[in-house]
Chain A
Amino acid sequence: MRRILLIALKDLLLILRDRSMVLMILIGPFLLTFGMGLISGRMGGGVSQSSGPRDIPVAIVNQDGQMLGNALVNVLSSPELAVLLEPVLVPDVETAKQQVEADQVAAAIIVPTGFTQSLIPLAKEWQAWSPSSSSNLAIQIYANPGRPNSVAIIESIVREFLFRVEKGRVLGLTAITPLVTAGAIQSTQAEEIGRALGESLARANDAKDLMQVAITEGGLTPSHEVDVMSSLAPGMALLFLMFTATYGARSLLVERRQQTLQRLMMTPTSPIQILLGKGFGVYLSGVLQQLVLIGTSTWLFSLNWGDALGVIALILCAALAAVGWGLLVAAWARTPAQVASAGSALMLLFGLLGGSFVDLSSMPSPVYVLSRVTPNAWGLDGYAILAGGGSLSQIGQPLLALILMGVSLIVFAGVILMHSRHFTQA
């Protein structure tokens, strides 16, 4: 037991002396704030009041012509919204405005040129890209003052669309950017990831769902502030947790390469003790990172995570599951670089799949089932329950799932490692 603890503490100390690791641990909360600040200002113009009309004529000017612009057009002209909207594609802004002024349509939605790109940078822009530097390209709604109710509905649909895109984007980019900066992934890879992210964001905007939003919110002027906080922060926390766990598990291969693993094997310590020690070290760093992230966000932005005991239990269990995945990656990989790249890929995949970027409730059920293999999905469930006022006793299911996931993955990875000549035989 003492040896396990010693190895773990030694690893924690090494992690704290690793600059890129500390950066990720400390920078997480700040990226989070940054992200918060970014969600807004994507939409200009528009008036809002209420009631419930049908077949609202709306003009759309898609100057963007790319992924996100097209996605919005698709959503607005989808059969699900056909009852509600009657969209007309208009080639230019002038025509659209004339139609509004002539009272032919309730509003004109103008997606400016380069809108998609302002959200998802190209490969060459990654190095210089920072969340704040993206231009203020906004979707314009040119409203017909004579039809306030219709305008309100259109506005709420567009706003929800943008909110979802924003949320996923900010999470995705704040996760990818440090990886690019740290050299963990190439900017061309980042572009691919960005595109995949964009596509899934576009897909995530299920039209049926948006109509629901339109009906429930239409007319009100909802403030998304609270929503943003509680839906963004846990996703972010879990994303960073996966990073810490996979990056930490890298040390197993680093130790083999720098021969200290071999040296450890020649001390009176069993391979199982060594493995548990290494795993525990990663676990401690994951827990520490979550505590820092959740602690600072509570303290700095008075974010309410819910019942403290529940939050702590969730941190402890989610970190266990994340360590399981980290060790599995380390057991599969042959070099530290492989762990780093497979680890960041897994982190992003789990982010997408587990609901850190996009809301899973609108996904088809196979995706939902698949999402259950990620610690992110269970963790998000837990945080949602806690944020909604639930207590420790109500998050039993996610906690149990995370523990089971963690323990079985650790055992599985352990068995692979114990039988791997690469681990035990020099």
Chain B
Amino acid sequence: MIRVHNLTKRFGHLTAVDNLTFEVKEGEIFSLLGPNGAGKTTTISILATLLLPTSGEAWIDGYSILQRPLEVRRLIGVVPQEIALYQDLSGYENLWFWGQMYGLRGAELRQRIRMTLEQVGLDEKAHHKVRTYSGGMKRRLNLAAGLLHHPRVLFLDEPTVGIDPQSRRAILDFVKSLNREGMTILYTTHYMEEAQELSHRVGIMDHGRLIALGTQSALLQQAGEHDTLVLSFENDLKPQPPLEVLRHLSEVINVSREGDRIKVLTTAPEEVLPHLVTVCLEHGVRIRSVEVIEPNLETVFLKLTGRALRD
């Protein structure tokens, strides 16, 4: 359904998207997982025909994004990362306008608006100006405006950023139900949990490159039998244990810092732990707690890049 071939986008000297190649099958939820600045939004903007790629090509349902942009736009729906709504129109008016722009009319449009507003839980606020909405409500309306016309392919760019857990839950469930109805979805996020919960396949992006691609189990296998030890400290990392020393302990694959915690990727947590404690004590750092995390997508990212997804 979506085919991306050697896609590259440069902004001056910065390569935002670097030689990206992947495919999304019809009816699939495909997630692009990556930290800030990985190039997720740029990729979506190119696929949605908003930006021209520097080189490479992509097709949506066989239509080239370069040669047939208008056909592509008829097939897709986009939920942009930034809230893109008219603040002085009501929720209903916004949906009416965007629905019209996607060619919906009359009774069908009204029916869709009512239904979608209900699905995103905004029916009571429908006739208030968007200006008066809370952040989470705006996010949900932003989502509604992108899928009102039931596109065959939906691009969702970090639709859950900065909202409360309930709204997030509602959005994730909604996305799943849309997919069950046959919508192909390209979802970007930097929340490992979301990618894990939603997607059939995941592409991990970093610095514009796709560094891993596959089903979750395949990616986890790639990470091997590695566990992660998360250490947190008394007196918040002052003084600091030297990451280099930790990294050179045997059985340690990678070490990274995330906030005031340290993550250690290891093949044998039981053997490594006593060494870690010794090193920390030698450097005058007191460990407050240790947590062992089973392999997940985050571990994969950590192993591939040596960094945490969020830092």
Contacts and interface: CB of A to CB of B under 8 A. Distances in A.
A191 B78 CA distance: 49
B52 interface: yes
Given A265-B50, A268-B73, A426-B51, A260 B100 contact: no
B70 interface: yes
Residue among B70, B98, B101, B103 facing the most chain A CB atoms (10 A cut-off): B101
Contact of A262 (B70, B84, B102): B84
Interface in B80-128: 80, 82-89, 93, 97-98, 100-103
Given A3-B101, A269-B101, A14 B88 contact: yes
A266 B103 CA distance: 13
A14 B90 CA distance: 11
Contacts of B48: 266
A259 B102 contact: no
A426 B70 CA distance: 17
B74 interface: yes
Q: Is the interface of B mostly helix, strand, loop or mixed?
A: loop
Interface residues of A, number: 22
Contacts, number: 65
B70 A268 contact: yes
Contact of B83 (A10, A259, A265): A259
B49 interface: yes
A133 interface: no
Interface in B38-72: 45, 48-52, 70
B50 A266 contact: yes
Nearest to A259: B84
A426 B88 contact: no
Contact of B84 (A18, A258, A268): A258
B7 interface: no
A276 to B, nearest CB: 14
Contacts of B76: 266
A268 B88 CA distance: 24
B50 A10 contact: no
A17 B129 CA distance: 11
A262 B80 CA distance: 9
Contact of B97 (A10, A259, A266): A10
B84 A263 contact: yes
Nearest to B101: A267
Interface of B: 45, 48-52, 70, 73-74, 76, 78, 80, 82-89, 93, 97-98, 100-103, 145
Interface of A: 2-3, 6, 10, 13-14, 17-18, 258-260, 262-270, 425-426
